[in-house]
Amino acid sequence: MKSIDLKARIEAQAYKSYGRSFYDLHEKEQFVAVGNAVMEYLVPEWIQSKKKFRDQKQAYYFSAEFLMGRALSNNLANLEIEKEVKETLSEMGVDYNALEDAEDDAGLGNGGLGRLAACFLDSGATLDYPLSGYGILYQYGIFKQNFVNGFQVEEGDPWLEYENPWLVKDSNDTVIVEFSEEDKVEAVPYDMPIVGYGGQTINTLRLWSAEAIKKFNFKTFDEGNYIDSVKAQNEAETISRILYPNDSTDEGKRLRLKQQYFFTSASLQDLIRKFRKEGHKGFDDFSKLHSIQLNDTHPALAIPELIRLLEMEGVEFEKAFDIVQKTMAYTNHTLMAEALEVWSEELFISVLPNLMPYIKKINERLIGELEEWKVDKSLWDKFLILQNESVHMAFMSIYVSRAVNGVAAIHTNLLKSEVIREWDELFPGRIVNKTNGITQRRWLLQANPGLSGMITDLLGGDEWITDLNLLKNLEDRHEDDEVLERFIGIKKEKKQELAEYIQFHEEVDIDSESIFDIQIKRLHEYKRQLMMAFYIADLFNRIKEDPGAEWTKRTFIFGAKAAPGYYMAKAIIKFINELAGRVNTDVDTKDIIKVVFVENYGVSYAEKLFPAADVSEQISTAGKEASGTGNMKFMLNGAVTVGTMDGANVEIVEEAGKENNYIFGMEVEAVAAKRADYDPKIPMRETEGLGAVVESLVDGTYQDNGTGMLRDLYDSVVGRDEYFVLEDFASYREAQDRIAHDYKDKKAFYKKGYMNMANAGKFSSDRTIEEYAGEIWHISKKQ
């Protein structure tokens, strides 16, 4: 891209969008102009990519979330024009970093499930596979998180307030989604380019926006009922207004169900329309040309909906069932029963009366097979989609899929041996493992250019960008003092950058020479942010008892959002913020330990946190975390893991060695055994210092502004301790104290981090996508 061409394009886009010179625009407008100029550059290749895969089987990733993050730097890096663009903008007097910060994080996802989807799309395009995404164009992200007096307060996240250069509206492909005869909306598609590294393949993420069929009632308006005149439009737009509405109310549940049906129906109609347009008369070849991956149970309605749509096309039920089963594959992301979606039949029928007959047919077919296979009726509750006046989405997803996959080795084994053991016995071989992965393009190349440069220098080339297994060739260099010093220097730079960023955004001064111990993920009790907080409170008490001792300086960083209706998660946030206020101001502790809970944690903040971490907190109760992907991002950036043998931690330890990480706590079998006879008061009484920490929740040490939150948190832990925070505390404290001791020899400590980085190759999403493509989707690259 020539500098003079880019300047002209940017200036032209500024006038086109705003009627003013680029130099007269504010930063958000300048970002839009630059983004539009980049889009102009990549569109021809995007068009070619759509053409080249036209006659072969393609895969489609159906997901309620795509946590994409900012797109500008990612697109420039993958197009390999980042250097030229930055130089051109510098010539124009533009601060690229300010321009980059002007882009809002795309409000299309929340947690690991959505970030996984984004990484998969990146890998699919990079590896030249025909992989497209389908989801919802949420007008608002899940929410912006603010802290007021230590409490989480939510406000809207209007990420589409300004024009978004990466979205292309395609009104010609608008479809009608019918919930009932009286309730119909338009689904309007917006396409986002997914740029593969090298720019040779650009795939598509198609996002649906809900609009009313009749947007304005003139007669009603003319009669003076102004609000009612746009009521239909407001009700329709609510469907795609916000990610994950609070489902603690019936109305919230109704909206979630409508969202799920809205995007699955629209996406399937889109695929059938394209299939027809390509000249196919029957549907015999549909499953030979389409593979649909259901990312958790949110898109599971695609199963009965595709059967319904095929019947409308004249395909009888049994044949439609066969086509759908050969087309669908399902990813299970949880071992927690409460996270397996179940809808009440009454609610389901009230929202989707047209779909229930097809679910009944599927269930009747399943009953017939259970009878034919002589499955004992006492076990039918492990299989039936319709039971106890409820619709079980996971059972339907397993039954009508060609493959079901877990997302880490331990997770898949637990699915097969415990959670859905009966399904595995009935359909041996259907449940398989596909360990999650992350894209090194965003989480190393883009987020950590210093470490990326070092890796390229040591390997003598940048082939690792598309083949992360090459990192293994760095393992033997861990004894090279020059290499290790360079690694430590890069980590130090990233820690200093993060310290400055946190000082500006959170107004907390942290010492970049201290251990950066970071836990960033969704706030949930099983992830045990509370246990980390209890350790900090205990460490505070120990320092107060002997402030003159030789303590290791430490900074503990949290980042997490609690779902708006998740009361206990919000109580944990309040406690951590109260703890931070105490630790950070006490005369004896403020120069030794600091606690920071970053506000509004998201992808862009994560890109600063992962490269700066010394310690990765992966401390979920064993058997509760399916995989995790944050653990992989920390590992790739040279952090050690303090964690349980849960999720992908098991495989991280296998790759990098237990000696290079800090493993603690009960394993899955011990957790199951302990659950049968557990009294939380025993570890609270027998573990030195733990009782004082727990009692501090209610003895006046910390305040909850009269809400009773901390008392409820106390009662939950002392009464049930469902996630064994107290039982695992002593083991966790011992691991944490070892970290503090080992950090005194920084060379030896960072050697462990280096070994983690050098052994992170397995955890590339490129490897995961290769496995999906070859073993589940049966798609091929364009030759």
Which residues fall within 8 angstroms of residue 498, CB to CB, at 6 or more apart?
Answer: 512, 516, 608, 609, 611, 612
Given strand 386-387, what is the order of strands in its sheet? 342-344, 390-392, 386-387
For residue 711, CA distances in Å to 257, 374, 568, 575, 694 come to 35, 52, 11, 11, 10
> What is the rounded distance in angstroms from the CA atom of residue 477 to the CA atom of residue 457?
13
Taking alpha carbons only, the member of 728, 657, 668, 655 closest to residue 412 is 668
What is the C-alpha separation between 386 and 397, in angstroms, rounded? 13
Reduced to 3 states (helix: H, G, I; strand: E, B; else coil), residue 295 is: strand
Q: Beta-carbon neighbour count of residue 556 at 10 Å?
A: 28
Cα distances from 554 to residues 105, 516, 517, 740, in angstroms, run 30, 6, 7, 8
Across-strand partners of 439?
A: none
Question: Count of alpha carbons within 13 Å of 313, Cβ hemisphere only?
Answer: 21
SS3 of residue 782 by DSSP: coil
- Residue linked to tokens 């492909």: 173
Which is catalytic among the residues 297, 327, 439, 629?
Answer: 629
Nearest Cα neighbor of 128 from 206, 74, 43, 194 is: 194
Residue 494: count of CB within 10 angstroms of its CB: 24
Q: N- to C-terminal Cα distance for the chain?
A: 27
| Distance from C-alpha of 192 to C-alpha of 71, rounded to nearest angstrom | 10
User: Is 521 noted as a catalytic residue in this protein?
Assistant: yes
204 is catalytic: no
> What 3-state class would DSSP assign to 770?
helix
User: From the candidates 115, 554, 633, 752, which is the catalytic residue?
Assistant: 633
| Beta-carbon count within 10 A of 465 CB | 23
Strand 662-663 to 640-643 pairing: parallel
> What's the CA gap between 619 and 641, in Å, rounded?
9
Task: Tell me how far apart the alpha carbons of residues 713 and 562 are, in angstroms, rounded to a whole number.
Answer: 15
Of the candidates 581, 578, 612, the one whose C-alpha atom is nearest the C-alpha of residue 501 is 612
Q: Residue 39: how many CB atoms within 10 A of its CB?
A: 18
Q: Which residue has the tokens 């053409």?
A: 51
Chain position carrying tokens 């550059």: 41
DSSP assignment of 529-574 equals HHHHHHHHHHHHHHHHH-TTS-PPPEEEEEE----TT-HHHHHHHH
Active-site entry in 333, 361, 430, 752: 333
Catalytic residue selected from 308, 442, 521, 561: 521
**φ/ψ of residue 182, rounded to 5:** -95, -10
Q: What is the CA radius of gyration of the chain?
A: 27
Distance in angstroms (rounded) separating the CA atoms of residues 283 and 286 = 5
Alpha carbon distance 715, 710 (integer Å): 9
Contacts of 723 by beta carbon, 8 Å cutoff, 6+ apart: 525, 526, 528, 621, 624
Residue 527 appears among annotated catalytic residues: yes
Q: Which of 138, 131, 145 shows the shortest CA–CA distance to 109?
A: 138
Contacts of 252 (CB under 8 A, 6+ apart): 245, 246, 565
CA 569 to chain CA centroid, nearest Å: 18
Out of 478, 494, 527, 574, the active site residue is 527
Catalytic residue flag (residue 201): no
Contact 144, 155 (CB under 8 A): yes
Residue 594 appears among annotated catalytic residues: no
Amino acid residing at 208: W
Reference 717, options 683, 756, 673, 760; nearest CA is 683
Q: Which two tokens stand for residue 91?
A: 């010539």
So which residues are the catalytic ones?
333, 521-522, 527, 629, 633
